[in-house]
Amino acid sequence: MLVADYIRSKLGRFGFIIDHNEIEALLLKNGIGSDETYTLDSVDRTEQALYGFIPELLVVSSVSEGGYSISYDKEGIQDYYALLCHNLGRENKVQKAAQPKIKNKSDLW
């Protein structure tokens, strides 16, 4: 199996269909050959490539017009990204900061 096929398959599980040119650019940017086989030697580079690419996918919005719709499992890909960040020991760039909570303290006045 090629690295490109692995990436397509992995992201396809979450509803993302990645264009051939986009995959080629991702591989090139991460020093992975377009015909490189997915092996133990390429796992780390492939995961690093996904780490850099997944935040771009999360800005894509779902589309629904008439009877046609395209939707993505954004919660699932965020969970996968969090796992990937943990495994790589890298910062989670898409984790939302906790929202501040407003408490009513008017009874103390």
The distance in angstroms from the start CA to the end CA of the chain is: 68
Q: Give the model's pLDDT for residue 97.
A: 55
Answer yes or no: is 70 within a domain.
yes
Using a 10 angstrom Cβ sphere, with 0-12 exposed, 13-18 middle and 19 or more buried, the burial of residue 52 is middle
pLDDT, position 66: 73
Number of independent structural domains in the chain: 1
Residue 106 included in any domain: no
27: pLDDT confidence band, cut at 50, 70 and 90?
very high
Residue 18 belongs to a domain: yes
Say if 32 falls within a structural domain.
Answer: yes
CA 74 and chain centroid, separation: 9
Which domain range does residue 57 map to?
A: 3-95
| Residue 96, pLDDT score | 66
For residue 103, being part of any structural domain is answered with: no
Tell whether 60 is covered by a domain: yes
- What are the residues whose beta carbons fall under 8 Å from the beta carbon of 57, sequence distance 6 or more? 11, 16, 72, 77
| Residues 79-103: tens digit of each pLDDT | 999 999 999 999 998 876 556 777 7
Give the pLDDT confidence of 45-88 residue by residue, as tens digits: 999 999 999 999 888 776 667 777 677 788 888 999 999 999 99
